[in-house]
Amino acid sequence: MGDIEDHIDVYERKEEIKNLKRERVNRDSDIFKVRDEVFDQSTRLTLFKLMNNGYIESLNGEIATGKEANVFYGKDGDGKEIAVKIYRIATSNFNKMYSYLVGDPRFYYTKKDKRSTVFAWAKREFKNLKIASEVINVPKPILTRNNVLIMEFLGKNMKAYPTLKDNKSKDPEKDFNLIIENVDKLYKAGLIHADLSEYNILMGKKMYFIDFAQGTIKDSIMAQDFLKRDIENIGRYFSNYIEVPEVNETLKRILNE
């Protein structure tokens, strides 16, 4: 006996847990209330599902606000630190994003509307991180759903490691060579970062490349231009500290090896 009651009991427990979680989402994330452009209805729902599945346990401080995304510090169900990057659906510059996307054969068929574009953008960063994580140091990608990307947190005491821009290189010669080596390794793995600069490199115990949403595969229309631009950006930054080789020389070396 009591089968039905047990059933109802379990059901009620489940509902109770759901409600508790729902409350926690709201409580933990006071940010939700003031940040409607980041946490629109559909993003809240996505986060809520990720919380119910244990991918996100808590979402605390905001680490950064970028052009297209906001990055938050959080923890997963096992208490592991995570970085949660949320691409804004409302305020995104979606026409530009779209034109960048469709030059990449992997995303040629992306539908031309805001949501599809932003979701594809998050997916592209995820896919790129997967490829990159095989050959260089990047935040390990964990999961992407809709406009939310979860990855390994790179930092200490809930603070992200400084960027190369904020934490000048102590050994510019060595770091420059390491960066070019990373660009080379990525290219050999078929990928070009395409937005590489002192802003998208984090300096922890190791050096990490981040922000891979613009990353394109070798077969993209603009692949070589992007590769050249990455090398130029890095060269420009390091030329303040050391003598850097000619861009074309480095480019040729990477292309012909």
Ligand X SMILES: Nc1ncnc2c1ncn2[C@@H]1O[C@H](COP(=O)(O)OP(=O)(O)OP(=O)(O)O)[C@@H](O)[C@H]1O
Q: Residue numbers of the site for ligand X (CB under 6 A)?
A: 63-64, 66-69, 71, 83, 139, 151-155, 160, 163, 200, 210-211, 213
Say whether 195 is catalytic: yes
Q: Which of ligand X, Mg ion, none does 120 bind, CB closer than 5 to 8 A by kind?
A: none
For residues 129 and 88, give the distance between their C-alpha atoms in angstroms, rounded to a whole number.
Answer: 20
**Contacting residues for 163 by C-beta, under 8 A, at least 6 apart:** 198, 199, 200, 201, 202, 203
Residue of 104, 175, 184, 211 marked catalytic: 211
User: Within 10 A of 88 (CB to CB), how many other CB atoms are there?
Assistant: 21
Q: Which of ligand X, Mg ion, none does 50 bind, CB closer than 5 to 8 A by kind?
A: none
211: its two tokens = 């922000």
4: its two tokens = 């039905």
Residue of 195, 219, 225, 230 marked catalytic: 195
The CA distances from residue 14 to 20, 86, 125, 126, 241, in Å, are 10, 28, 34, 32, 60
**Of 57 and 211, which CB lies nearer to Mg ion in the complex structure?**
211
Residue nearest Mg ion by beta-carbon distance = 211
Say whether 211 is catalytic: yes
Q: Is 211 in the site for Mg ion (CB under 5 A)?
A: yes
**Of 15 and 166, which CB lies nearer to ligand X in the complex structure?**
166
Number of residues that bind Mg ion (CB under 5 A): 2
**Of 126 and 250, which CB lies nearer to ligand X in the complex structure?**
126
Report the phi/psi class of residue 8: left, alpha or beta, with left for phi > 0 and alpha for psi in -120 to 50: alpha
**Of 6 and 134, which CB lies nearer to ligand X in the complex structure?**
134
For residues 195 and 151, give the distance between their C-alpha atoms in angstroms, rounded to a whole number.
Answer: 19
Contact 179, 245 (CB under 8 A): no
Q: Which of Mg ion, ligand X, none does 153 bind, CB closer than 5 to 8 A by kind?
A: ligand X
**Considering the complex, what minimum distance in angstroms separates the CB of residue 211 from Mg ion?**
4
**Considering the complex, what minimum distance in angstroms separates the CB of residue 116 from ligand X?**
17
238: its two tokens = 């390091």
Catalytic residues: 195, 211
Binding site for Mg ion (CB under 5 A): 200, 211
